[in-house]
Amino acid sequence: MKHELYFEKPKLRKKVRIEEKDEYLQISYHGFSLEIFPNEKVSLNVIKDLLNLLDGKHSLEQICEKVSLFSKEEIINYINELDEHWLLTEGTENKIEGKSGLDFIFYLEDLYAEWQNNIKETELTQLILNKGASKNLIVGFAVEYYHVTRRCHECISPAVAKSQGRIREKVLDFFMEEYRHDKLLMKSLLSFDFDRKEIENSVPLPYTQAIMNMLSKWAHTDLLSFMAGIFLFEGTDYDGMEYKEALSSYNLPKDFVKYQNTHGDINIKGEHGQVTRDFYRELDYISPEDQIRVVNNIRMLNELHIRMHQNTIDYYNQINTVVPRNLDKLMNFN
């Protein structure tokens, strides 16, 4: 378990519910929940004392002083477990000054790099790049990525409608460059003799669907978060080159590798990894409130992306997995 603490003064999120059951505490927030059980060392009352101190007013040192039955390491583990279930936020008020769009996106890139350094590569990425992924897993991941790419393309139209002036031009430019990338990914998947409708009507995994829903919401309501989120999926030239090289080492249909690589080549040559910078460069000022919101949203999107990778392994690495995830097959309808 990780022992690094992200919070100065951890605070349970608003509307977090704590329910005392017969033998444990259930903590829930917007569909996320965690069950905490007592042990020989600590009772439910002691655990409740710890939770009451997560009010955004106490530092780790102060919490350790007040609940001495826990070691510092145990308290960090509890806090990190709550954070992994999205039950915590930072209680310290951030004294953030306004920034230019470019300064802010550089700051966000630095934050993203820190997050990535903390988790390193996901298990899915390691399997694919180290030539250890099964054919099922590669195809399944391609199907999930197709769904995200297709939704991203669909989201650009409302994003264009919400923008004006030079900002609108930048979003429109990206729309034209991204136009029908999902078709390339579809061509790659058809090389496995799937029917087109099978793929189009397939059911994304839960965390894939969550990412799609989040992008849709931002495209309609929060252009700053939507364009910052593009950075997460367009990636860097290095990411694309590594994936291309890895695919060539697997025994896969030539057209699958060809169209996957064509999609990657367009992203690299079009410098799609820079699209977020190009957008934010046009913004003279990002308020402190907007900065906090976008950072929180991108951190959430990054967490979803990590969980999507694990969700992909958990499903597609099973024996006799249904690919693609057709509803009739999943429900065993005739």
The pLDDT mean for the chain works out to: 84
Q: What is the pLDDT of residues 66-106, one digit of tens each?
A: 998 888 999 999 998 888 787 888 887 656 689 999 889 88
State the total domains in the chain: 2
Q: What is the CATH number of the domain that holds 184?
A: 1.20.910.10
Q: What is the largest CA-CA distance in the chain?
A: 64
Q: Are residues 200 and 64 in the same domain?
A: no
Q: How far apart are CA 74 and CA 63, in angstroms?
A: 12
Range of the domain at 161: 101-330
pTM of the model: 0.68
225 near 297, Cβ under 8 Å? yes
223 pLDDT more than 70: yes
Final residue belonging to a domain, choices 90, 113, 132: 90
Q: Are residues 148 and 19 in the same domain?
A: no
94 near 293, Cβ under 8 Å? no
Q: What is the pLDDT of residues 247-299, one digit of tens each?
A: 888 999 999 988 888 756 655 454 445 778 888 888 999 999 899 999 999 99
Beta bridge partners of 27: 18, 34
Final residue belonging to a domain, choices 37, 61, 90: 90
Q: How far apart are CA 63 and CA 42, in angstroms?
A: 15
Q: Are residues 172 and 313 in the same domain?
A: yes
Q: Are residues 80 and 107 in the same domain?
A: no
Q: Are residues 15 and 113 in the same domain?
A: no
